[in-house]
Amino acid sequence: MNGGAGVREDLRGGTAVAVRLAGGAPLREALGGAEAGDWLVLDAAVREVAWYRSRLLPEWEHTDPLPAELTHLGESRLALALCHRDGRVREAAVRRSARCPGLLPLIVIRCADWAEPVRERARELLREVLDARTAVDLAPLILRVGCRDRGAFGIGLLEEVLGRASRGRLTALFGHPERTVRRFGYRLAVGHRLLGPAELAHAAARDQDTVVQDLCATAAVTSLRDEGGAYDEVLTPLLTARSPRTRSAGVTALRRAGRPKQAEVFLVDRSALVRACARYVVRQHGGDPAPWYRERCAAPDDPGLPPGAVIGLAECGDRADAGLLWPLLAHPAAGVRARAVAGLRALDLADAERLRPLLDDPAPAVVRETTAALLPSAKQLSAGWLLERSGPGRPRHVRVAAFRLLDAQGGVVALRVAVRLLEDPDVKLRTWAEQSVQRWHPSAEVRRGDAEVGELLDRSRHLFSDYVLRRRKREAGLDG
């Protein structure tokens, strides 16, 4: 028998495992440590390679055909019968499967069978045998099958069985690698109040799934409001979480806790969502975030100025606050410079001439923000100046910015820089250049019959079919 890696490879197609089972290999050996998806693959593979199509799998010619009476079939052959194309065979197999606990995953699949007799028999059997321990083990498969037509029964039964289970039983669901299983487990725990506010807060801070984060954070704050308790036990994990959604829930909860001063710390958070929630809390307690931001941005040389204060000022200030943002373009911290550009863009005050020098900034984040701010006014920038910065001697982030702005200018300039970059050693830049050439069409300002356009298109003919290339040339007023 192959090792675990070989089993995983076989299960991708499913047919190899089906052949082993048909040859009499024990179910546990043929499947190894099968996961939910492996059972579904096996089920599909057996039906795909039906018994009457054995010519496609010569190995099956050496196995006995399925008997009409399935009473004496072993577990492996019974597994194949549960996946058979013929609904009468599947129904008979379900009747005989109660004696084989190892076949329960296939019984779960048959609970969503298209044939009603098969489906009803499988549901009766699953209802009889499903206990809390088995339900936890089968939860990943039941939830996958639940996404199918007629699959709601399994999820309903899972909720019914695990709803009566102890909290300890559900612990395995909370740490499951599949997010759908964790979501189900936490929804069940919240619905039955199996976890306290502090436990929910820690779960929200720990889990990587946004659905679990929202579910647990909301439940933690709601439980705290309904039941009362120590706010610190709940707020501390929420406010220190890596996820902005979780932090925002904690910041919003500071309003009910009456802690606007604690919310001020989050006025400079790196997340716009958290900053907005912090401003809400401050305002609800009679404060005004705008002067708070202005006070911190008034010292353009302050090395400790948080970047969040800069963009926060733009988010809640007005156009007059640009006077505080322009000096910050020379701040020693790249984060502050980038946020100052973003703030000017948010206030619709991105002056092309004043921002253009920042395209040479050594910090990629600053150049990215500057590029985004200049794209609407790209045609105001000197094409020659940008072409110089798209050359191989410049830093990559500067070259990318120059290419994006030249591409936004359109016309011959865009085609010229794209064709020049078709042989660039940078794979991504070369790919973007190819895409730019392929979507290029002559704009109104392109002189018809321009020989340079024809030459550039000929240099990039490998990107077009002959028909498309002739059509592009005709659009530019050139002979195909």
Mean pLDDT within 433-452: 93
Does the structure show a pLDDT above 90 at 168?
no
**C-alpha–C-alpha distance, residues 476 and 189, integer Å:** 66
Give percent above pLDDT 70 in the chain. 90
The CATH label, of 3.30.70, 1.25.10, 1.10.260, 3.30.420, for the domain at 382-480 is 1.25.10
**C-alpha–C-alpha distance, residues 253 and 231, integer Å:** 9
For 405, phi then psi, to 5°, come to: -70, -40
User: Which pLDDT band, with edges at 50, 70 and 90, does 53 fall under?
Assistant: very low
Mean pLDDT within 21-44: 78
Using alpha carbons, select from 61, 123, 63 the residue that is nearest to residue 91.
Answer: 123
- Retrieve residue 304's tokens: 């400790």
Mean pLDDT within 251-261: 90
State the virtual CA torsion across 382, 385, 391, 396 in degrees, nearest 10: -80
Beta strands in 63-217 (DSSP E): none
Mean pLDDT within 444-459: 92
- Retrieve residue 125's tokens: 């059997």
Q: Is the pTM of this model over 0.85?
A: no
User: Which pLDDT band, with edges at 50, 70 and 90, does 79 fall under?
Assistant: confident
- CB neighbour list of residue 468: distance below 8 Å, 6 or more residues apart: none
Q: Is 134 left (phi over 0), alpha (psi -120 to 50) or beta?
A: alpha
- Retrieve residue 411's tokens: 């016309």
**C-alpha–C-alpha distance, residues 417 and 181, integer Å:** 50
**C-alpha–C-alpha distance, residues 140 and 162, integer Å:** 13
**Residue 416 burial class via C-beta count within 10 angstroms: exposed 0-12, middle 13-18, buried 19 and up:** middle
Q: What is the pLDDT of residue 227?
A: 59
- CB neighbour list of residue 183: distance below 8 Å, 6 or more residues apart: 209, 211, 212, 215
Does the structure show a pLDDT above 90 at 85?
no
- CB neighbour list of residue 352: distance below 8 Å, 6 or more residues apart: 374, 377, 380, 381
**C-alpha–C-alpha distance, residues 480 and 471, integer Å:** 7
Does the structure show a pLDDT above 60 at 111?
yes
Least confident segment among 22-31, 51-60, 217-226: 51-60
The segment(s) of the chain belonging to CATH 1.25.10 are: 382-480
State the SS3 of 79-96: HHHHCCCCHHHHHHHHHC
Cβ neighbour number for residue 157 with a 10 Å cutoff: 19
User: Which pLDDT band, with edges at 50, 70 and 90, does 226 fall under?
Assistant: low
**C-alpha–C-alpha distance, residues 318 and 25, integer Å:** 74
- Retrieve residue 124's tokens: 């009766």
Does the structure show a pLDDT above 50 at 5?
no
Cβ neighbour number for residue 286 with a 10 Å cutoff: 7
Determine the 3-state secondary structure of 167 from DSSP.
helix
Per-residue pLDDT reduced to its tens digit, 314-372:
999 999 999 999 999 999 999 999 999 999 999 999 999 999 999 999 999 999 999 99
**C-alpha–C-alpha distance, residues 433 and 428, integer Å:** 9
Q: What is the pLDDT of residue 70?
A: 53
Q: What is the average pLDDT score of the chain?
A: 88
